[in-house]
Structure 1
Amino acid sequence: MATEKTWLVISYDELSLAKEAAKKLPQGENALGFDRDLKLWFAKPGADLSVLQRWRPDPMSQAPTKLDPREEFAQVLTEAGFELDGPPEMDGQLHRVKTSEDKSGQKTGAYTGYLDGTPAGWYQNHRLHSDPIKWKATPSWVDKPAQHHLRALAAQKKQTREAEQARKHQHHAFRVRQLFALLPQAEASHPYLRRKGIPLTQGIKQDRQGRLVIPLRNAEGDIRTIQRIDKTGFKSLKKGAQKTGGFFVVGGTVKAGQPLLYAEAYATAASIAQATGLPVVMTVDAGNMPKVAHSLAQRYPDHAHFFLADDDRKNATNKGVQKAQEAAELTQGTVIVPVFTEAEIKQNLTDFNDVQQSQGIKAVTSQIAPYLESGVKKSAPEVNPAPPVENNESVVRPTSQTPIQNEQAPQVERQVERPDKKEPSHVENRIEIELILSEKADKGPQFTPLNLDTLMQNITHRYENGTVVYFHQGERAFVDHGQQITMASPQASQNNTMVLAALWVAKQHYHGKIELTGSDAFKQKAIDVIAEHRLEVVLKNPQQQHQLERAMQRLHQDKEAKSTEKPQTDALVANRETVTPQKTSSTAPPEPSMEVPLTGKLLEHRPAPYQFKAEKGMSYFVRMRTKEGEKVIWGKELEGALNDSGMKTGELITLRCLGQQPLTLNIPIKDAQGNLVRWEKKEGHRTQWEIASAIDPRLLVADEKDAFPPSALMAYDRATFDKIQQAVLTQTGMTVPLPSHPSDGLWVQPDGKGTTKTGHPDRGVLPTTHPDSGKTVMTAHSPEGKMRLHLVQGQGDSVQGMVWHQGAYRRALSKSQWRALFEAQCRG
């Protein structure tokens, strides 16, 4: 079964045969598609590849070349000023090398080479080239069928490389966000800031090495990478992370009516912000400036754009000015180049921070102010502004009070591409989006309190002709055009699940106001769905917003009426469409049914009087939101089941009642003074519950290496672990056997949890021996006298021991979060 677009080689004579073999996908569309640019057929995701094997490209196909590709590529690189130590690596990876103009330790040359299909690659001498230069090996003659196979192979490998690159970028972004959240705020007295004469901007942090750490976000507000600056001014980016399109706003927030100012480096941006009193978008370098400008221009089309270029006049190509011109052409903006005296030019001063250092902050103001006042270019290179792009369907526009804020932003694990192409001129039912980057939206990280976890497990998506098409259980549901979301069919418009998912995408990905268009039935259905699921969206149409408020009032009134007529019980019944209260005695609640497990989002759990009636005894309840609505389940034993499960409010759980189970209780017997003298056994019964995650953890992290690479693991001495565990068993009188020796050692993850992962970390430094090693840190027993936890001091700041978890005693090893673990186990 195809999981991605799979390229095929189908001749015209065999096309009908291939279509007959491929048939159609479950949703009714053809299993084969055609790419007009590559002139190749492909199997769509979901197609049966076993019947298409004869049309798969031949992996043995190779294009003959006149020279060895490595030798030919080496000649090209050498001519571009690269100093190679040997043949270039043709492994598809990025390689940096020294160029003829580099000083010791510098590597301003970069290249990537491929050997699949026709050998090809790219290279860039950053001192000479403003953009990467593509290269392809010189081929000899090859017949046409072989050309088709080579093109298909190349397309498949390119697609695989791009998917792998996207996965790596997402992985690095996740790790960067984790790292950045733990760092303290930077110090305003940092040596680099003092040397440059600039202030500290809010949102910049500082690492243990004393380096400034600047988060670079994409247009959606997600942190994708970080830039580090040490006290000498040396700058570095997170290796392997996504820099393209990333930026940081220096000196405040962008507000409606203000111009958008752009600069390359932080010091330059800080000087400009200080001189103008306006926020400045820092793009890291010149090459990234057009990409950032393009994405922000789409969000803020009515703002004036000013690009304050670095004057790289000493280089063969003035990349600073050239890229500023390119950005200005994309946005109809203005390029501003700093003006220096002859003496300053001889000193090789290039940017506006150099102007500040040499002439003072007033000089920066005097050079920039005329451009901001008049909006015309002055002494800047001529730029022909691009004509405005007409788009009648565009609904992405700024609001009157929607600032960009650089300090925090929502973290969304998935990024949706935004096409530039025009939308359809007419759509029946759609959700139009007004995108907002507001203070509220940027106060990340956020966790959406919606009952959509189960739903979104059945939602898939793929990119199709510049849009993102979403499917529900294989059926086309809706299409995200970037500026509006359209329902895929009249049937989808009437499907509550698909409408809910479309509204969630509008809320989660775009953080903005929406407007419903189309039939009255669709608009009313969408409003009812918003109200029922309490979606945090704003309808910018006043009439629709009024309808939403009325719908929410009706739901609230209906809920109050139902709660007085038919209170929720503690039973899990076979028919979950209605929850019928069972007859109860005055002494005990009824025995729950064991027939049907309940799956939903855990909303709340705590002790309370049974059925919230003060005259009844204390019990424990769990409130869940399921696909049928909210459910309240009662049972004293639910508290222990929740603690054993480790599940938390907001997570998806499956709750199952296992019925009445026999239980031997240890009853504490105390003397007249209240001292415990002995325990007495008593036979009884207790309702047993099972609570577990409704999501298979393997679906969240396909490979544990993706979660914690070897370099992030911390070593722990196994011999010491065994010795202390044996002492714990002696202290408690338990006979739990020690685990078998893992061949690769025992490691601890950065979050303090142990791991069974094999492989050695990059560093094997053991924690120091603690003077109180082996001494009891905490013990806890259940009300029946059963030991629930016994922990002692381990090595360093770690603890280890035994914990009752999921019906059995488990060996425990933890560090950073152990106090919270203790409290949770004690509550159980």
Structure 2
Amino acid sequence: MAQRETKAPARQNVHQNARTPARQADEGTLSEAANSNKPERTYLAVPFDEREPAKKLGARFDRKAKSWFAPNAKVAKATMKWSVKGKVPAAEQKRDPQGEFSDWIRAQGMDLQGLAQMDGKWHRIAIAGEKKEKNASYRGFLEGGVPNGMLHNFKGSQESWTFDGQQLSKDEVARAIEAGKKASIARADERRLDQEKAAKTAYGIWANLTDWAKPSNCEYLKRKNVLGFGVKLDKDARMVVPLRDTDLKIHSLQFVGEDKHYLKHGRKEGLFHAIDPKRYLNDADQLGQGDTLVFAEGYATGASVHKLTNKPVIVTFDGDNLVKVATALREKYPNVTMLFAADDDHHLPLREKPLPNKGLEKASEAAQAVGGYVVAPPLNKNEKAKGLTDWNDLCTERGHDKAVFQFLTRARAALNLGNGRELEQTTSKSKQQGREQEISL
């Protein structure tokens, strides 16, 4: 009896011990199943100009972490090209991102000497064979999940680069994201301070310039056959153009001589120069229903269009700035009609490495953003062969009167008169200016 009592617990213990691994396995399976139901974030290194395609594929942006991520396995598979998980074998890891970025910039046709700076700031650079003028800029980032960068060719579009030479663990990604957040805040603070200092410098320079630029003292205005509107002349006979915000405060300056450049560290984004001799923009109540604002990329185009229309013209300095400026002015003047006197960069799609027609695309983008209308110059085949691209070129080539007719014709077409909108014109003559036609919308 004693033996049975001794063996029974033993058998029971053996039986319990035999079931324990199974129970543990079941518990492990349940735990794994529970964990598998929790979506695991796959962090992504999405270049700035590829954020929209990534978003369409299901990628999301973590504002707190300031990083893109794939919320589930399906999206992770669709966005695999941006994943920070290993993209190359371990034997090929730890290549130098700064060196790769530098080689990539040179491969895009840039004249880069030495290594590229990867500090998150824009750096001007010359296109190979065009060293006289720096017509491009780049910036690179070493933090933020995986090193990446972008190149902006002022004569074309923006290209992006992502480093694929290293594999990052989750901990490394987390550390990189945190470092990226701190670096981003530091860059923003530094940029803000630099821009504030530049604004004070710009105001000081502008206030101390005494001569207004005009064709008789400014070679640029003489060559472009346009008048000076709110622009001054510096000691080097360069035209100086102020960059203002919607309150008309000066933040920076553009200097126009043999080439064009801006005040160092000066802000350009969202700023403009107004060709507005009647000073409509000085009083928000002066512009409303039935009034018109015309937008142009460059000063010469803007001055020519002002002569064609007698309307205030907003010079945005480049196509990339059109949307931001137009949006800001739409908020201030909600009822005005907005026309975009687009550049026609017809030569860019014909390059060996085709680029978008940036002038037309950016004007269309801005027009769609604010409910405006694109008025592009109707260049013929011969004029395109000569390299003409804008309304200033058309005025020079065909003469003022013909250019007025063409602008009005194109504006009517853009406004779609069939919907009941009317485009009226009044004609006045003077010995000094010849025929002028004014648009009323």
TM-score, normalised to structure 2, is 0.66
> CA, structure 1 residues 103+39, in 2 after alignment: closer, same or farther (shift >3 Å)?
closer
Per-residue deviation, 1:108? 2.2
Name the SS for the 2:212 alignment partner: coil
1:328 aligns with 2:367: yes
More strand by share: 1
CA distance in 1, matches of 2:94, 2:389: 46
State the match for 2:99 in structure 1: 71
Name the SS for the 2:110 alignment partner: coil
CA distance in 2, matches of 1:286, 1:104: 23
State the match for 1:279 in structure 2: 312
Name the SS for the 1:167 alignment partner: helix
CA distance in 1, matches of 2:136, 2:228: 33
1:110 aligns with 2:137: yes
State the match for 2:183 in structure 1: 157
CA distance in 1, matches of 2:108, 2:150: 12
State the match for 1:199 in structure 2: 227
Counterpart pick for 1:291 among 304, 318, 324: 324
Quick check: 2:374–2:414 contact (8 Å CA) kept in 1?
no
Counterpart pick for 1:94 among 115, 122, 130: 122
CA distance in 1, matches of 2:366, 2:383: 27
1:359 aligns with 2:398: yes
Per-residue deviation, 1:320? 1.0
Structure 2: runs of 5 or more not aligned? 1-60, 67-89, 282-286, 349-354, 418-441
Name the SS for the 1:70 alignment partner: helix
1:195-344 mapped onto 2 (5 Å cutoff)? 195-201=223-229, 203-230=230-257, 232=258, 234-252=259-277, 253-254=280-281, 255-256=287-288, 257-315=290-348, 316-344=355-383
CA RMSD of aligned residues (A): 2.5
Per-residue deviation, 1:219? 1.9
CA distance in 1, matches of 2:165, 2:178: 17
CA distance in 2, matches of 1:377, 1:137: 48
> CA, structure 1 residues 343+122, in 2 after alignment: closer, same or farther (shift >3 Å)?
closer
Per-residue deviation, 1:373? 4.8
Quick check: 2:241–2:255 contact (8 Å CA) kept in 1?
yes
1:146 aligns with 2:179: no
Counterpart pick for 2:201 among 153, 175, 180: 175
Name the SS for the 1:214 alignment partner: strand
CA distance in 1, matches of 2:323, 2:198: 23
CA distance in 1, matches of 2:149, 2:117: 11
Per-residue deviation, 1:328? 0.9
CA distance in 2, matches of 1:187, 1:138: 51
Quick check: 2:375–2:411 contact (8 Å CA) kept in 1?
no
Residues 461-501 of structure 1 show CA distances to partners (whole Å, capped at 9, x for unaligned) of xxxxxxxxxxxxxxxxxxxxxxxxxxxxxxxxxxxxxxxxx
> CA, structure 1 residues 277+104, in 2 after alignment: closer, same or farther (shift >3 Å)?
same
Per-residue deviation, 1:338? 0.5
Quick check: 1:334–1:377 contact (8 Å CA) kept in 2?
no
Per-residue deviation, 1:243? 1.0
Per-residue deviation, 1:66? 4.1
> CA, structure 1 residues 377+289, in 2 after alignment: closer, same or farther (shift >3 Å)?
farther
CA distance in 1, matches of 2:197, 2:174: 35
CA distance in 2, matches of 1:40, 1:286: 32
Per-residue deviation, 1:71? 2.5
Per-residue deviation, 1:154? 0.7
Name the SS for the 2:319 alignment partner: coil
CA distance in 2, matches of 1:141, 1:214: 48
Tell me the amino acid that sits aligned with residue 260 of structure 1: L
Per-residue deviation, 1:375? 5.0
Quick check: 2:302–2:313 contact (8 Å CA) kept in 1?
yes
State the match for 1:515 in structure 2: none
Quick check: 2:346–2:384 contact (8 Å CA) kept in 1?
no
State the match for 1:788 in structure 2: none
Tell me the amino acid that sits aligned with residue 402 of structure 2: A
Residues 509-564 of structure 1 show CA distances to partners (whole Å, capped at 9, x for unaligned) of xxxxxxxxxxxxxxxxxxxxxxxxxxxxxxxxxxxxxxxxxxxxxxxxxxxxxxxx
State the match for 1:636 in structure 2: none
> CA, structure 1 residues 377+264, in 2 after alignment: closer, same or farther (shift >3 Å)?
farther
Tell me the amino acid that sits aligned with residue 113 of structure 1: G
1:368 aligns with 2:413: no
Tell me the amino acid that sits aligned with residue 333 of structure 1: G
Name the SS for the 1:224 alignment partner: strand
> CA, structure 1 residues 171+104, in 2 after alignment: closer, same or farther (shift >3 Å)?
closer
Tell me the amino acid that sits aligned with residue 296 of structure 1: L
CA distance in 1, matches of 2:274, 2:65: 44
Query: Which stretch shifts more, 64-73 or 263-272?
Result: 64-73
> CA, structure 1 residues 357+115, in 2 after alignment: closer, same or farther (shift >3 Å)?
same
CA distance in 2, matches of 1:377, 1:87: 53
Tell me the amino acid that sits aligned with residue 109 of structure 1: A
CA distance in 2, matches of 1:39, 1:181: 43
Quick check: 2:213–2:233 contact (8 Å CA) kept in 1?
yes
> CA, structure 1 residues 374+349, in 2 after alignment: closer, same or farther (shift >3 Å)?
closer
Structure 1: runs of 5 or more not aligned? 1-35, 42-63, 379-828
State the match for 1:468 in structure 2: none
Per-residue deviation, 1:329? 1.4
> CA, structure 1 residues 108+210, in 2 after alignment: closer, same or farther (shift >3 Å)?
closer
Per-residue deviation, 1:193? 2.1
| Bigger relative contact order (CA 8 A; separation at least 6) | 2
Tell me the amino acid that sits aligned with residue 404 of structure 2: T
Counterpart pick for 2:111 among 72, 83, 103: 83
Quick check: 1:199–1:270 contact (8 Å CA) kept in 2?
yes
CA distance in 2, matches of 1:359, 1:366: 11
Per-residue deviation, 1:348? 0.8
CA distance in 1, matches of 2:294, 2:207: 28
> CA, structure 1 residues 187+122, in 2 after alignment: closer, same or farther (shift >3 Å)?
closer
Quick check: 1:81–1:125 contact (8 Å CA) kept in 2?
no
Quick check: 2:122–2:137 contact (8 Å CA) kept in 1?
yes
CA distance in 2, matches of 1:269, 1:312: 16
Residues 657-702 of structure 1 show CA distances to partners (whole Å, capped at 9, x for unaligned) of xxxxxxxxxxxxxxxxxxxxxxxxxxxxxxxxxxxxxxxxxxxxxx
State the match for 1:752 in structure 2: none
Tell me the amino acid that sits aligned with residue 276 of structure 1: T
> CA, structure 1 residues 187+293, in 2 after alignment: closer, same or farther (shift >3 Å)?
closer
> CA, structure 1 residues 324+166, in 2 after alignment: closer, same or farther (shift >3 Å)?
same
CA distance in 2, matches of 1:96, 1:192: 23
